[in-house]
Amino acid sequence: MTSPTFGPGEEQTARTLISLAVAEDFGTRGDVTSQWLIPADQQGTVDIVSRQHGIWAGGPVGKLVFEVIDPSVKWTSHIEEGASVAPGTSVVTISGAVRSLLGGERTVLNFLGRLSGIASATQKYVAATADTKVRILDTRKTLPAYRLLDKYAVRAGGGHNHRIGLYDGCLIKDNHLGAWRAVDETRSLADAVKAARANPDNDLPIEVEVDDLNQLADVLMAHPQMVLLDNMNAETLKQAVAMRDQSAPGVLLEASGGITLENVAEVAQSGVDRISIGALTHSVIALDLSFDWR
C-alpha cells in the first residue's frame, strides 16, 4: 500500500498539538525526575517496539515531538507508514540525550499509539470488504483538534476520508431538514437538494441523509451526488441499491450507522459504494507500543 501523504495541514496540526502536549507534561519545571537522576551529558538509544499485531502510523508526528523537545535527537524509521507490524517489531530507533528521550517518552507513545490504533482498526474493515467495490470511510467523530491526524491514520490503514469539516461538503441531515421545513412543511427532500444546488457559491458535492426507502425515492428525483442510507439493514440496502440503479445510476450510496466488523461484509455485499464508520476514530484502542532501551 502507498504511504499516506503527511502534508502541511497535518504538520501544522501536529506542531500545535505537540506544543500543548509538551507544555502540559513539562509545566514550568520540566522533567524533574530526569533532572535529579540523569546526568545532562548522558547519551542513550531507544527502540519503539510494537507489542501486538497492527498497522503502523504516526511516524512523522513522533519525529516532530523530539524536534520540539530536543532537535539534536536522531530519529530513524525502519518501516513505512501503513505497514503491518508484529509483536517484537522495532519500528523506530531514537538516539540522543537520555533526559530528552525520557522527557518525550509518554508524549510520543500517546500520539503513536492512538494513530496506529486508528490505522489498525481501519485495516480490519478494509480487509473484511476486500472482495467488494466498497470504500471504507471515516466521519467527523474525531477527537477535537485531532481531525487531520485522525484522518491521516485512516488513510494509513487503507481507508478513505469523508469530508474534513462543515466547509468542504454539503451533507443535508435530518436536523437540517427539520429546520428547513419549519418554514414550509410541504418542502421535500428533492426540494432541499435543488435549493442547495441553486446556491451561487455551490461548488461542492451534495449528499443527503435518508432513513427509509420512501425518502430515498424522493431524493433520487433530484440526483444529488450521494445519498447516506442511515441505519438500514442489509436487505433494505439491497432494495435501495436496486432503486438507485433503476432511477439514478450515477448517484453514490453510502451506508452508515450500526456498522461493525461482524456485519460490514454483509453491508458491503448489498452493492453500496461507500461505508462510513464513526468507530474508526471515536472508539480508538491504542496500539500497544513500548519504549525499549538498547
1: confidence class by pLDDT, cuts 50, 70, 90 = low
Structural domains for the chain: 8-124+285-293 (3.90.1170.20), 128-282 (3.20.20.70)
pLDDT reported for residue 293: 95
Mean of the per-residue pLDDT values of the chain: 96
Digit-coded pLDDT (tens) for 212-267: 999 999 999 999 999 999 999 999 999 999 999 999 999 999 999 999 999 999 99
Pair 111, 62: CB distance under 8 Å: yes
Q: What's the mean pLDDT in 11-20?
A: 98
Q: What's the mean pLDDT in 4-21?
A: 97
Active site residues: 106, 141, 173, 209, 230
pTM given for the model = 0.95
Residue 156 in this model has a pLDDT that exceeds 70: yes
pLDDT reported for residue 3: 82
CA angle 270, 205, 268 (to 5 degrees): 15
pLDDT reported for residue 234: 94
> Percentage of the chain surpassing pLDDT 70?
99
200: confidence class by pLDDT, cuts 50, 70, 90 = confident
Pair 158, 122: CB distance under 8 Å: yes
pLDDT reported for residue 201: 86
Block residue for cell numbers 510494537: 50
Give the range among 30-44, 82-96, 166-180, 271-285 with minimum mean pLDDT.
166-180
